[in-house]
Chains A and B, each alone.
Chain A
């Protein structure tokens, strides 16, 4: 069990470009969450999947954001037409429903939009 893996760890992009992040959850974990964290704040919920179904999206997730988990394993988060306000740490977490409530977090992808 290698934990939750996120790629890339850092991403610098120009405003207006599209970016995509990947999250590999712990094997067999059926829930996968995306959070966003800005400096000095706690993580904020964006969306979550149970297996391949996206069950909830936060109002923070504008139309420029889309997330997928096509086979119920890894997930991708895409941001289109990035803005400077998108600069943040994007965190992924996973959990296994039958093993309690603990969510395991990855190390995050730090996005800087210049």
Chain B
């Protein structure tokens, strides 16, 4: 089955700096890679996703890059703000197989003033 590894487990940045979270996956059949932001009391919110036919996707301050050959993908947050503080999870799935997600272990991001 699929295995997703995520690093780092904690990340502390100064407000305005950039944050990068990296994930690797094992199953070459995986073709969908979402990122979720998890906050206490708010559940998990999809912040960006990418499919395997695209190498990069950007949405305002958030971007995701995918390297299929190396089986890794990364989340980039620029101009971080205190409200970006949360736990971020990467995930991978094979869209043709029910799209069940395999998650990484999460990154606790703290944006300090």
Binding site of B, secondary structure by majority: helix, strand, loop or mixed? strand
What is the size, in residues, of chain B's interface with A at 8 Å between Cβ atoms?
Answer: 26
Which A residues are CB-close (under 8 A) to B43?
Answer: 4, 91, 105-108
Q: Please judge, given known A-B contacts A40-B105, A40-B106, A107-B41, whether A48 and B89 are in contact too, CB under 8 Å.
A: no
* Known contacts A91-B44, A105-B36, A107-B42; A43 and B98 CB within 8 A of each other: no
- Asked if A87 is at the interface (CB within 8 A of a chain B CB), the reply is no
Q: What are the residues of chain A within 8 A of B32 when measuring CB–CB?
A: 101
Contact partners of A106 in chain B: CB under 8 A: 43
A-B contact pairs, 9 of them (CB 8 A): A42-B105, A43-B44, A43-B101, A91-B43, A95-B99, A101-B49, A101-B99, A104-B46, A105-B43
Binding site for B on A (CB under 8 A): 4, 31, 33, 35, 40-45, 48, 50, 55-56, 91, 95, 101-108
